[in-house]
Chain A
Amino acid sequence: MRWLLRLYPRRWRERYEDEMLALLEQHTVTPATIADLLLGALDAHLHYDAFGEGVIYVINRLRASVIEVFYAFILYGVGWSMLQRINDPVDTYDGAARVHPELTVLHDAMFIVGCLGFLAFLLGGLPLFFIAVQRAFVHRQRNVLVPFVVSVACLLLFVTATATLAAWHPQTHVYQYLIGYLSLSALLLLVGAVAVSLVIHRAHFEVSDLKFVFVFVFVPEVVIVFSMIVSVLSATALLILITVHAPYLFDTQDVGRPMFIIGLLCMVLSSIFAAIELRRGRLRRLNEDTST
Chain B
Amino acid sequence: MRYEELGRFADVSFLILASLTSGPKHGYAMMEDIREFSGTQLEPGTLYGAIARLEKKGWIEALPAENRRRPYRITTAGIAAFREQVATLQRVTTVGKERLAIWEGS
Q: Which residues of A contact B (CB under 8 A)?
A: 12, 15-16, 18-24, 26-27, 32-33, 36-41, 43-44, 48, 52
Cα of A32 to Cα of B67 in the assembled complex, Å: 27
**Contact at B67–A22, with CB atoms within 8 Å?**
yes
Q: Which residues of B contact A38 (CB under 8 A)?
A: 45
Please encode chain B, from 43 to 68, with 1 for each CB lying within 8 Å of some chain A CB and 0 for all others.
Answer: 11111110110001000000001011
Chain B positions 1-52 with a Cβ under 8 Å from a chain A Cβ: 26-28, 31, 43-49, 51-52
**Contact at B45–A23, with CB atoms within 8 Å?**
no
Cα of A153 to Cα of B11 in the assembled complex, Å: 57
Q: Which residues of A contact B67 (CB under 8 A)?
A: 22
**Contact at A41–B45, with CB atoms within 8 Å?**
yes
**Contact at B52–A18, with CB atoms within 8 Å?**
no
Contact of B27 among A19, A32, A33 (CB under 8 A): A19
Residue of B with least CB distance to A37: B45
Q: Which residues of A contact B46 (CB under 8 A)?
A: 36, 39-40
**Contact at A23–B31, with CB atoms within 8 Å?**
yes
Cα of A243 to Cα of B31 in the assembled complex, Å: 55
Query: Taking each of B26, B48, B56, B67, which has the highest tally of chain A beta carbons within 10 Å of its own beta carbon?
Result: B48
The smallest beta-carbon distance between A174 and chain B, in angstroms, is 59
Cα of A43 to Cα of B68 in the assembled complex, Å: 24
**Contact at B45–A36, with CB atoms within 8 Å?**
yes
Q: Evaluate whether A19 and B69 lie within 8 angstroms (CB atoms) in the complex, with A40-B48, A40-B49, A43-B49 already known.
A: yes
Does B97 interact with chain A (Cβ within 8 Å)? no
**Contact at B44–A33, with CB atoms within 8 Å?**
yes
Question: What are 26 A-B residue pairs whose CB atoms fall within 8 Å in the complex?
Answer: A15-B52, A18-B70, A19-B27, A19-B65, A19-B68, A19-B69, A19-B70, A22-B26, A22-B28, A23-B26, A23-B27, A23-B47, A23-B69, A27-B28, A32-B43, A36-B43, A36-B44, A37-B43, A38-B45, A40-B44, A40-B46, A40-B49, A41-B45, A43-B49, A44-B52, A48-B52
Q: Evaluate whether A26 and B45 lie within 8 angstroms (CB atoms) in the complex, with A16-B52, A48-B52 already known.
A: no
Residue of A with least CB distance to B46: A36
Q: Which residues of A contact B31 (CB under 8 A)?
A: 23, 27
The smallest beta-carbon distance between B97 and chain A, in angstroms, is 34
Cα of A12 to Cα of B47 in the assembled complex, Å: 14
Q: Evaluate whether A37 and B49 lie within 8 angstroms (CB atoms) in the complex, with A22-B68, A23-B28 already known.
A: no
**Contact at B48–A18, with CB atoms within 8 Å?**
no
Contact of B28 among A16, A26, A37, A39 (CB under 8 A): A26
Q: Which residues of B contact A24 (CB under 8 A)?
A: 44
**Contact at B68–A37, with CB atoms within 8 Å?**
no
Residue of A with least CB distance to B67: A22
Residue of A with least CB distance to B68: A22
Q: Which residues of B contact A40 (CB under 8 A)?
A: 44-46, 48-49
Cα of A48 to Cα of B9 in the assembled complex, Å: 13
Cα of A31 to Cα of B72 in the assembled complex, Å: 27
The smallest beta-carbon distance between A87 and chain B, in angstroms, is 46
Cα of A230 to Cα of B7 in the assembled complex, Å: 29
Q: Evaluate whether A19 and B26 lie within 8 angstroms (CB atoms) in the complex, with A43-B49, A44-B49, A52-B56 already known.
A: yes
Q: Which residues of A contact B28 (CB under 8 A)?
A: 22-23, 26-27
Closest 7 CB pairs of A and B: A40-B45, A36-B43, A36-B45, A22-B68, A23-B27, A37-B45, A19-B70
